[in-house]
Amino acid sequence: MTTPLTKRAAWQSLQTHFPQVRELTLRQLFADDAQRGARLTLDAVGIYYDYSKHRVTDETLKLLVQLAEESGLADRIAAMFRGDKINSTEKRAVLHVALRAPRGASIVVDGQNVIPAVHAVLDRMADFAKRVRSGQWRGHTGRPIRNIVNIGIGGSDLGPVMAYEALRSYSQRELTFRFVSNVDGTDFAEAVIDLDPAETLFIVASKTFTTLETMTNAETARTWLLAKLTDPAAVARHFVAVSTNTNLVQKFGIDPANMFEFWDWVGGRYSMTSAIGLSTMLAIGPDHYREMLDGFHQMDEHFRTAPLNRNLPVLMALLGLWYTSFFKAETLAVLPYEQYLKRFPAYLQQLTMESNGKTVTLEGTEVDYQTGAVYWGEPGTNGQHSFYQLIHQGTKLIPCDFIAFVQPLHDLGRHHDLLLANVFAQAEALAFGKTSQEVASEGVPAELVRHKTFTGNRPSSVLLLDKLTPATLGKLIALYEHAVFTQGIIWGIDSFDQWGVELGKKLAERIIPELEAKTEPTLGHDSSTNTLIRRYRQLKHSSAGK
Ligand code: F6P
């Protein structure tokens, strides 16, 4: 039995240390150490990480690293990379790192080296992608594929859609990509509204091949296709599957020859470098895709080998944990100053919140500390004209991750300097604010001084990378993946299960037939749910008659 988190020596020291740090200001910390802005930085794997504007001292950082050590982080990292079944509630290995390991590597799960199978699938994906991209793969009527529609949800959608948007400037522009996830029929209808079935390829992406939303959308896609192409044999030229479940793929009518496999040791939200990345590979091509995998792998290796106090994901995790568990900050904003990363915060929401939104430890006891923060964000500078007001002057403490790139992907006049000036300015304003004296000395009328005062002391990190490329995207994602892992280890929770999504799914299964029943069903829910169901049925039937 491991020592409970709050009983560990480093945790207790942090608790004593916290009230002192809470009183310190970033103004003072910077004034006391002229080197702070250069010193509290880490330049690794092509990411320059400035963590100087955090409410920490050298002592805080030392204690946080000590906490990671006392939590057995080094052993747990080794266990993950070794293929141990660290997802204990599902009794599975956690091996997304194997998906980007080089061909010659060896990681053994249940007595078998999984790397050859990983590369066999990658090779099949590359072969298929080349055929589709070159127009060699034809649809049922002999026309080349021009549209690719990925049908999936959660990890089978958020990674693909984020990567497509992020790497759009590397994509084959003649191909149209759409992503359908929601069971709301609007999602499918709008995605295909201007597409010709004869030129459309569907990727049905689902780890389990049982997910209600995905299977419903896949059935609708088949009906849509056959409404025009009529011959059921057309399905074989217009549908491919990405899954771990060969039986169900076959049952759906997709030829296993058109199935790209992955394995139960890949979690849904960690699956974008598995065959779930097929749409990404179709968009950017196999070479760029391999560059992306290499970026992931570089970060994996950094995480595996760098000392904990110079380890990017570990530092990011520890700072996040400091705010969540000690300052009791509820949220963390991710603010990419790169328009192509517009879906990155949405992607991170599943990665972070499905992983660390837990209240029970691996030992089965209730936690007595705060775990996973709420992640959210929007690209800068748009957010500045929307919600930044609350980050600057609101009552809540919201640590921010600013992400910026030195080289623009579109070098248009002054745009990029203006963009970067804004990132640096926001981080500066949040940290140092503006005192009432400073405001007053500018001649601001007395009644407005308080309104124009910025308390500052609002922490942020700045991540500066050279350019958004497939490789830098890979590094960035792996950075967050491993930060999530690190926090999960310290909090002592299983970051790789997601039992919390089950109850809603089960209840929906019960309600579906109640909504669809021809005659009034007997309802046994609470009075609110019963009334809502009755009202919906009543209104649905009365509007159907109009
Ligand atoms: O509902 C949660 C979840 O299980 C996610 O973890 C997963 O990414 C998503 O559903 C989709 O699952 P699948 O890929 O099996 O369709």
User: pLDDT for 289-342, tens place per residue?
Assistant: 999 999 999 999 999 999 999 999 999 999 999 999 999 999 999 999 999 999
Alpha carbon distance 270, 480 (integer Å): 11
Distance CA 438, CA 448 (A): 13
DSSP for 268-295 reads GGG-TTTGGGHHHHHHHHHHHHHHHHHH
Rounded CA separation 281/470 (Å) = 11
- Does residue 197 contact residue 224 with C-beta atoms inside 8 Å? yes
The answer on pLDDT for 438 being more than 70 is yes
pLDDT on residue 349: 98
Helix (H, G, I), strand (E, B) or coil at 145: coil
Q: Is the CB of 274 within 6 Å of ligand 1?
A: no
Least confident range from 39-43, 109-113, 403-407, 481-485: namely 109-113
**CA dihedral (525, 529, 534, 540) positive or negative:** negative
Q: What percent of the chain has pLDDT over 90?
A: 98
154 lines ligand 1 (CB under 6 A): yes
Tokens of 136: 């060699």
The mean pLDDT value of the chain amounts to 97
Separation of CA 83 and ligand 1 centre (Å): 22
- Going from the C-alpha of 390 to that of each of 383, 395, 459, 471, 540, the distances in angstroms are 11, 8, 14, 34, 41
Do 361 and 367 meet the contact criterion of CB atoms below 8 Å apart? yes
List active site positions.
354, 385, 505
Return the ∠ at Cα 466 (arms to 464 and 467), rounded to 5°: 110
Residue of the CA atom closest to atom 10 of ligand 1: 154
Q: How far is the CA of 291 from the centre of ligand 1 (A)?
A: 26
How does DSSP assign 52-87, residue by residue?
TTSS--HHHHHHHHHHHHHTTHHHHHHHHHHT---B
State how far the Cα of 456 lies from the Cα of 429, in Å rounded to an integer.
7
Predicted confidence at residue 546, as pLDDT, reads 67
Question: Which residue type is seen at 484?
Answer: V
User: What is the enclosing helix (H) or strand (E) of 318?
Assistant: helix 312-321
Q: Which atom of ligand 1 is nearest to the CA of 498?
A: 6
- What is the DSSP annotation of 483-494? HHHHHHHHHT--
Q: Tell me what pLDDT residue 322 has.
A: 98
∠ CA 185-186-188, nearest 5°, is 70
pLDDT reported for residue 1:
66
pLDDT, one tens digit per residue, over 347-361 is 999 999 999 999 999
320 lines ligand 1 (CB under 6 A): no
pLDDT single digits (tens) 519-535: 999 999 999 999 999 99
Contact 164, 340 (CB under 8 A): no
* pLDDT tens digits, one per residue of 207-231: 999 999 999 999 999 999 999 999 9
Model pLDDT, residue 243 = 96
- Evaluate if residue 545 carries a pLDDT over 70: no
pLDDT at position 543: 78
Name all contacts of 273-276 with Cβ < 8 Å and 24+ positions apart.
273/96, 273/99, 273/100, 273/474, 274/96, 274/99, 274/121, 274/242, 275/121, 275/125, 275/242, 276/152, 276/155, 276/156, 276/159, 276/160, 276/205, 276/207, 276/242
Backbone φ and ψ for 331, nearest 5 degrees, come out as -135, 170
pLDDT band at 2 (very low <50, low <70, confident <90, very high): confident
Please state the φ and ψ torsions of residue 54, each to the nearest 5 degrees.
-110, 150
User: What average pLDDT does this structure show over 377-402?
Assistant: 98
Q: Pocket of ligand 1, candidates 182, 204, 208, 249: which has the most ligand atoms within 8 Å of its Cβ, to mutate? A: 208
DSSP 523: -
Ligand 1 atom at minimal distance to the Cα of residue 205: 14
Structure confidence at residue 133 (pLDDT): 98
Whether residue 367 is predicted with pLDDT greater than 70 in this model: the reply is yes
Mutate to test the pocket of ligand 1, among 151, 264, 498 (most ligand atoms within 8 A of CB): 498
Strand locations in 181-304, DSSP E? Answer: 200-205, 239-243, 259-261
Atom of ligand 1 nearest to the CA of 211: 16
* pLDDT tens figures, 415-434: 999 999 999 999 999 999 99
* Nearest-angstrom CA–CA distance, 223 and 273: 30
58-70 and 312-321 are packed helices; what angle lies between their axes, rounded to 10 degrees? Answer: 100
Ligand 1 atom closest to 354 (CA): 6
Q: How far apart are CA 414 and CA 420, in angstroms?
A: 10
Distance CA 544, CA 536 (A): 12
Measured CA to CA, the distance from residue 29 to residue 412 in angstroms comes to: 38
Radius of gyration (Cα) for the chain, nearest Å? 25
Using one digit for the tens of pLDDT, what is the confidence trace for 233-284? 999 999 999 999 999 999 998 999 999 999 999 999 999 999 999 999 999 9
pLDDT digits 0-9 by tens, 298-311: 999 999 999 999 99
Could you tell me the two tokens for 305? 């080998």
> Over the stretch 119-145, which tens digit does the pLDDT of each residue have?
999 999 999 999 999 999 999 999 999
Show the CA angle centred on residue 168, arms to residues 154 and 374, nearest 5°: 35
For residue range 178-201, list pLDDT tens digits in order: 999 999 999 999 999 999 999 999
Which pairing describes strands 147-151 and 176-180: parallel, antiparallel, or unpaired? Answer: parallel
Peptide bond into 381 cis (omega under 30): yes
CA 517 to each of CA 219, 506, 545: distance values in angstroms, whole numbers, following the listed order = 21, 18, 17
CA nearest ligand 1 atom 9, residue: 154
Which atom in ligand 1 lies closest to the alpha carbon of residue 213? 16
151, 211, 216, 502: which to mutate for ligand 1, most atoms within 8 A of CB?
Answer: 211
- Could you tell me the two tokens for 458? 């609002």
Contact 153 CB / ligand 1 (< 6 Å)? yes
Going from the C-alpha of 409 to that of each of 169, 170, 281, the distances in angstroms are 8, 10, 20
